[in-house]
Every structure is written in structure tokens, then in C-alpha cells.
């Protein structure tokens, strides 16, 4: 069925179709449509909806439901996600699957309520304390928001790890036509064996008691746990990288962008191609794991890269780590809620090609 739907609502429908059991959140713009929608819909489906007293409480409620093996989610925007970071570290340490959504707004501080991509570092580096990572999915249109949301719990449970979906406030507010029937499940999450639930707390009936903890005080115990987590992160890096490459024969330059920037970048790319300028575009879909190898591969043939972001330059650092030594990496970005335009990208591409 085709329907006109807003990004934030597509997220709601995706998670419901993906088996959401409980939603906890605290109000913050630009993602308030999500809780308004869930408040109406979830109680009717006998699912949990609860407005928490803070983002800190919300993420801890997610922790509580996640440890019972049920599918819990919270959504927020940048400052709220900052508040959640301590517990996100706990969730990763305790290996509790859940879904966290950041509809990014302009920062730093209270910033503004329009969209940005300024939380790239926070999302991809483990924004809290300690060595940890969570999978980061970056949809670039409404349909992808729906699809990623739908498969996010499966991905979280596969690795017993939180999954974060990030997109900017503009995309959250965008209305587009979405065809749910044609939805193939773009992530195509593959589950090798049955999902292990032998760790959940649901009362110690007919089994020994279990504990969920991240405090590991015995000699060497914590180090060992960190190595175990690393093994998991390495497996995620091997198996879960997703990206898209809009190649063209004889491409002289490649735009690299995710989310909304990629969308604007595609517009610039097609316009440039009409002018006869051969431009490719690479779009990371998973920001963790980052497609280092894929970009490296691209840089065998294309030597110039323009990274476009709605920030002061964050993902550009990962692109620089990816391209081969003779590659040149340029950056164009607008921070603090500024939306890059295709004209600005076109201008920058031409400048690069004239250098």
C-alpha cells in the first residue's frame, strides 16, 4: 500500500511491525510526533507506553524491559541522547539489546530544533564512558526509516547489543510517499541460529538464578569481558557493514555523505552529470560499523573525495582513514542546523576539479 507518511511516523510503524513491546521517552523537539503516535497506538495493542520523567529515566526503563528479553525502545534528540549516555554504556556492558533513536537537532548546548548531523562522533565512538560500540543505522529517506526500524530489534538481538538509528530533524519532519508492500527489508539481517534468550531475567523458575551486571572486580575479569566485547564488535565490523555506491564510469570525484546530506548530494550528483561532469556518490548506511574497506576500494579508481555533512567535519575523519594514500579528501559542511544545498555542493565539486 502506498501512503504519504512523515519520517517520525514511519519510524513508529517500522518498530511496531518489528515487534516493539515497550516505548519510554521524554518530550523533545523535533521528534514529538513519535511519542504522540505511540501514546495513541501502543495501549490499544496492549503494548507499554510510558512518558518518563527524564531521558535518564527513559533509557533506564528501556534497560529494565530489555533485561526481560522484551523489545524496548526510546527516542530523543541530541541533548536528550547526551543525557542517556551513562546508561547506554551500561546497556553495552551488560549486553542488553534495545533500540535508541536520535532525531538529531542543532548543537552544541540547547542549540536549535532544526536538523543536524552533529552527533556523528557521539554515536559512532561510544558516546559514554569506557570502550564500547553500538550499531548505528543512518537512513536517508522515509522508507529507509521504516525498514531500518523494522529490522533494528533483530539486529540488536542478534548481537545482544543496542542499535541506534540516527537521522536529522529535517528527515524526521519530511513527508514522503512510502510503499510498504514493496519493502524488501533493505538491511536483510541474517540470523544464523535461534536468538539466545538464556540470559534474560524473568524469575528463576526451573533454572538457577541469573544476574545482569557490569561490575567485574575480580583480577583480570573486566579485561577479559572487554576482550569478549571486542570480539563481538569485530564480528559486527565483518558482517554488518552496509553502504551504497552510485558509481559512474570515469568518475573524477566522489561525494561521500550519509542521511539527509546524501540526499542533497544525490541531487547535486545528477545535476552535475547532466552538465557532463562525472561524479559518483558513496553513502555509508551503517556508521558503525563504518565502510572503511568499501571506501578504500573506491579510492583505487577515484582520487578526489568531497565529504558533505551537516556539521563541522566529523565523518570526514573516517573517510580520511579509508582512502588510499594518493587520495585527496575535501570537506564541505554546515553546522548548527544549517542544511547543505545542492548548489553549494556543485560549487565545491567544481572548485575541487579545477584545482
Could you list the residues that contact another protein (CB under 8 A)?
Answer: 21-22, 24, 48, 50, 52-54, 56-58, 60-68, 70, 72, 86-87, 90, 94, 201-206, 209-215
Angle among Cα 315, 185, 116 to the nearest 5 degrees reads 30
41 burial (CB, 10 Å; 0-12 / 13-18 / 19+) is: middle
Q: Which CB, 208 or 276, lies closer to another protein?
A: 208
CB of 66 to another protein, least distance (A): 7
Q: Which CB, 206 or 355, lies closer to another protein?
A: 206
CB of 205 to another protein, least distance (A): 4
The residue with cell 562522533 is 121
| Closest among 140, 135, 150 to 117, alpha carbons compared | 140
CB of 203 to another protein, least distance (A): 4
Contacts of 335 (CB under 8 A, 6+ apart): 106, 116, 118, 310, 311, 312
CB of 202 to another protein, least distance (A): 6
Q: Which CB, 50 or 222, lies closer to another protein?
A: 50
What is the spatial distance between Cα 216 and Cα 48, in angstroms, rounded to a whole number? 32
CB of 215 to another protein, least distance (A): 6
Q: Which CB, 4 or 217, lies closer to another protein?
A: 217
What is the spatial distance between Cα 209 and Cα 236, in angstroms, rounded to a whole number? 30
CB of 207 to another protein, least distance (A): 9
Q: Which CB, 120 or 153, lies closer to another protein?
A: 153
**C-alpha separations of 57 from 52, 64, 238, 329 in Å:** 6, 10, 34, 42
What is the spatial distance between Cα 319 and Cα 310, in angstroms, rounded to a whole number? 15
Q: Which CB, 5 or 66, lies closer to another protein?
A: 66
What is the spatial distance between Cα 303 and Cα 278, in angstroms, rounded to a whole number? 13
Q: Which CB, 26 or 159, lies closer to another protein?
A: 26
338 burial (CB, 10 Å; 0-12 / 13-18 / 19+) is: middle
CB of 191 to another protein, least distance (A): 22
Amino acid at each position: 500500500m502506498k501512503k504519504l507518511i512523515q519520517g517520525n511516523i514511519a519510524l513508529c510503524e517500522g518498530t511496531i511491525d518489528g515487534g516493539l513491546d515497550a516505548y519510554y521517552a521524554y518530550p523533545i523537539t523535533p521528534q514529538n510526533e513519535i511519542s504522540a503516535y505511540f501514546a495513541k497506538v501502543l495501549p490499544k495493542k496492549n503494548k507499554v507506553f510510558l512518558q518518563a520523567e527524564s531521558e535518564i529515566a527513559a533509557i533506564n526503563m528501556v534497560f529494565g524491559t530489555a533485561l526481560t528479553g522484551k523489545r524496548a525502545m526510546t527516542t530523543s534528540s541530541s541533548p536528550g541522547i547526551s543525557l542517556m549516555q551513562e546508561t547506554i554504556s551500561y546497556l553495552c556492558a551488560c549486553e542488553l539489546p534495545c533500540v535508541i533513536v536520535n532525531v538529531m537537532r542543532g548543537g552544541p548546548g540547547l542549540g536549535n530544533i532544526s536538523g543536524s548531523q552533529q552527533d556523528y562522533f557521539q554515536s559512532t565512538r561510544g558516546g559514554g564512558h569506557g570502550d564500547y560500540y553500538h550499531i548505528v543505522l543512518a537512513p536517508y529517506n522515509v522508507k529507509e526509516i521504516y525498514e531500518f526500524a523494522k529490522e533494528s530489534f533483530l539486529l540488536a538481538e542478534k548481537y545482544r547489543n543496542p542499535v541506534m538509528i540516527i537521522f536529522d530533524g529535517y528527515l524526521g519532519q519530511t513527508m514522503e510517499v512510502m510503499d510498504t508492500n514493496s519493502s524488501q527489508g533493505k538491511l536483510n539481517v541474517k540470523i544464523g541460529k535461534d536468538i539466545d534468550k538464556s540470559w534474560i531475567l524473568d524469575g528463576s523458575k526451573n533454572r538457577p538464578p541469573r544476574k545482569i551486571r557490569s561490575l567485574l572486580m575480580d583480577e583480570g575479569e573486566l579485561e577479559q569481558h572487554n576482550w569478549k566485547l571486542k570480539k563481538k564488535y569485530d564480528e559486527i565490523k565483518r558482517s554488518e557493514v552496509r553502504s551504497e555506491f552510485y558509481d559512474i564510469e570515469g568518475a573524477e570525484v566522489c561525494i561521500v555523505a550519509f542521511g539527509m546530506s546524501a540526499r542533497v548530494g544525490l541531487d547535486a550528483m545528477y545535476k552535475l552529470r547532466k552538465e557532463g561532469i562525472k561524479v559518483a556518490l558513496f553513502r555509508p548506511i551503517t556508521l558503525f560499523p563504518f565502510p572503511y574497506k568499501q571506501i578504500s576500494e573506491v579510492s583505487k579508481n577515484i582520487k578526489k573525495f568531497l565529504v558533505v555533512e551537516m556539521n563541522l567535519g566529523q565523518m570526514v575523519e573516517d573517510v580520511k582513514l579509508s582512502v588510499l594514500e594518493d587520495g585527496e579528501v575535501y570537506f564541505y559542511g554546515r553546522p548548527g542546523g544549517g542544511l547543505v544545498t545542492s548548489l553549494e555542493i556543485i560549487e565545491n565539486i567544481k572548485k575541487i576539479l579545477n584545482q
